[in-house]
Chain A
């Protein structure tokens, strides 16, 4: 299934096949190929932190920092614009709770919430997910957004375009315009050594953290 294990002809045939699919067929196809759908259904093992009828949260096996959570929709969506409003609300209320849990359980001093829509934005899996990354000072993770100077004329013009598009109703973008990741290679199952020392884990984390302390660090009162 993985593109790496295919001959160039097979890959080409697959790309051709995908190209000719209707959006419904494509979604069905993606669902079958999707590792995260298999994690959600339990076919592939993962460290599940939380689950309910709409969402599943797992630990990232290649985290930016220990405790890095992937919050997934139970339903297969490729990108955020496909998700209904009430699911968006639910997912991000969960993201807030999970972020809060990190501050309380693993001494995180902050969190990053990141969604990538499309390869150009850094999306690697074809299943919508919210990254919740626990942060500490000098942890080596660096998300600094460049600051460009955008001229007032351009701001006006772009703003008007976005406003017009927002007012034009909730039309979904054409999916063909957004490059999506190809089916990824399935990870090899790691041997499950479920008998492990749990003594460290018993050490209960202190939950005496103060949200105000975290916001106070930001300076402005």
Chain B
């Protein structure tokens, strides 16, 4: 999942679209949103192109949300925010606007006009139980994460090894030819 030409977030990550960076490492970046919901609105992004949450590897998820938490803490400390929201829109119906997974970190003040509330719904006991059973069935196998690799750095050499093996495979095949 390398950078995608048409993706505006990839262009921010590569630097071809200038941005005000507040954090950067090999795999992630945190930048200020020029059209933020509030001044200080940052987004945290993986440098690799992953359109939705489910496509981001577990290890990178851990790193990205830790960066989001550090940025949120820094917003409390340095901007005097009264609150922060960590917000992810995952998929078009959820309000995602760019096809690159990002985490919004939004500084909040009372009566700042941002509404991340919802109308609470009342479900019948039966509806609740149906949903519970359906989701539980899918959730049975979760909780096992790729935690043995400490950093996502392990990905790059792996690819190189794979292609070497492939080359070797082909050369072996060639040698077998009469």
Structural contact, A49 and B119, CB atoms closer than 8 A: no
Binds B, one of A3-11, A23-31, A131-139: A131-139
Contact count A vs B, C-beta below 8 Å: 328
Interface string of A155-187 (1 = CB under 8 A from B): 110110111111010111100011100000000
**Interface residues in A, total, Cβ within 8 A:** 106
Structural contact, B96 and A62, CB atoms closer than 8 A: no
**B52 in contact (CB, < 8 A):** yes
Identity of the chain B residue whose Cβ is nearest the Cβ of A99 in the assembled complex: B53
Residues on B with beta carbons closer than 8 Å to the beta carbon of A115: 85-87
Which residues 25-78 of B have a CB within 8 angstroms of A? 32-42, 51-56, 58, 61-66, 69-78
Which residues 14-54 of A have a CB within 8 angstroms of B? 47, 49-50, 52
**B-side binding surface: helix, strand, loop or mixed?**
mixed
Identity of the chain B residue whose Cβ is nearest the Cβ of A119 in the assembled complex: B83
Structural contact, B92 and A217, CB atoms closer than 8 A: yes
Quick one: which of A99, A166, A193 has the most chain B CB within 10 A?
A: A166
Quick one: which of A93, A98, A115, A152 has the most chain B CB within 10 A?
A: A93
Structural contact, A50 and B137, CB atoms closer than 8 A: no
Interface string of B119-130 (1 = CB under 8 A from A): 111110111111
A-B contact pairs, 30 of them (CB 8 A): A47-B128, A49-B135, A50-B136, A50-B139, A57-B139, A64-B121, A65-B121, A81-B73, A96-B53, A101-B138, A103-B54, A105-B135, A110-B94, A111-B53, A114-B86, A115-B87, A119-B83, A121-B83, A133-B94, A145-B37, A145-B41, A148-B36, A149-B34, A158-B40, A163-B21, A198-B129, A201-B133, A211-B54, A220-B51, A220-B99
